[in-house]
Structure 1
Amino acid sequence: MRRLVPAAQEDLRLRVIAALESGRVGTYGQAAEMFGVSSRSVGTWWRAFQAGGRQALLVAVRQPRAGVGELLNDSARGAVLRAMRDCTPADIGLSGVLWARASVRALIKLVCGVSMTEQGVGKWLRRHGFTPQRSARRSYRQQPEAVRAWLEEEYPAIAARAKGEKAGLVWADQCGLRSDTAPPGRSWAPTGHIPLVRVNGRRFKVNIMSAVASRGALWFTVFPGKFTAKVMCAFLDRLARQADRKVHVIADRHPVHRSKAVRAWLDENAERIELHLMSG
């Protein structure tokens, strides 16, 4: 019934009433079965027709209204949505750092004094353009303005220098690797059967230093223990030898990258390697 346009809904109600009036059907249940509607709806329409005639059928069914399902006015709704866009739950005194339906429900109760079910909160969020998404990790110390300035001003200058010198340009970073870490992402599997990834019970961990060029060339080294200036210098030396030309390396502001030993090595090898540290 709700999938029909208003004119078709009115026509269906009139046909149901005509069937009852003519005696073709004797009960609400028979009319409901014949026309594919609910007995409750048939009874509502019949009583409305008896009380007010055909015109009453136009108001016998609840008409859609603007903002159906809305319990919050424009001001309250705007305050809740702004808080979700700009803050985490912990920022405003709630628990957690991610907005789940439970925390949004608590926020609505806190700001507006309105109680909603978690299911209702989910529908409300989707209605206003919010969907559940995987969160991106970002350091709370990151300075967005400095990052933007670096990308718009410093990086183009570095790329231009590398091109003018016919040098390589690579991005470098380091990370840890564990033997028992399951691969990231999701795997398709039959419903109710969780996919398994078998890992080695003998756990071990190593570190990786890598550098990748814009066209996909990759250099890396795997090492146990801590990331030190000695490891960094050895990697840069091998990178320069294998690239067979000068290389501009872009890296973050890790303490090792800024250490005296690394700076000294870079001064001695300025014709082979140049290190650029990102801002922010």
Structure 2
Amino acid sequence: MMTRDARKLSPEALEEIRRRAVAAVESGASQSDVARLLGVSRKTVGAWVRAFRRSGEDSFRARTRGRRPGEQLALSTRQQEWTIRAITRGTPDSHGLRAQLWSRQAVSDLVHREFQVLLSPATVGQYLARWGLIDEALLKDMMRTRIATVLPQWRATNAEPQWWIPEGKVAWIIWIRPHTPPPGHSAHKRNLMNGFRNHFGDVNVLQAISHRGVVLFHAQLGPFDAHQAGRFMIRLGHQLNAPLNAIVCHWPTEHSAILKEWSAPHEHRIALHPSTG
């Protein structure tokens, strides 16, 4: 994998990648292996680890910018509902946007085009979390824990595993159902401001986080079939603009057969590694 300059990352992304790297090294992974998984240099990982051991949590702190002129902090309930329905009804390109999968920026572009409201990526992230469409905390936790499970395979063989694409980018993937209606909720109680977990139906979301902390996702009503899950993987590789090493961290057991169809390097240069234990 090509080494990338961590200095080009946003402060938020840099803070998160530092946390992932340090957590992996502190749990026993080698700095070289962590650097390779996260796409940075071994020297950079070493500097982060030394800073953490010297300064603790303060070494992770990233400077946060102030609000840009014209940014709004709130969408109306009607605007929020429209945005959620648009996201669950199709990919960004089906709505005339350039992106193939949803991201903070793609949602921001959609909202700005439709409502002339400019939201920062950070504010979009707060809305997506409030709506339940993405769970960045779960994604990041899965990434940290799965680094420790993937790396021992390399150390045991002293080489990258056969399923690994050396020049590919890494993404950690989960499939969740954030809006599963809780027991006892009746239809007349459905409304957006309740958190709308029982408002939009059986929403399923495929989420991915790249080694650089970029979150991409696709949402729809009802479970994904093999074709839809495959299209998500292909679109993910296209949006990351590289062959894909996909580490699957959470997947419904009743749909595990889908993973078997993608268990070997694919014609679209996708290497799938189930790591759901």
Fold agreement, TM-score > 0.5: no
What's the TM-score, normalizing by structure 1?
A: 0.33
What's the TM-score, normalizing by structure 2?
A: 0.34
Q: Which has the higher contact order (CA 8 A, sep 6+)?
A: 2
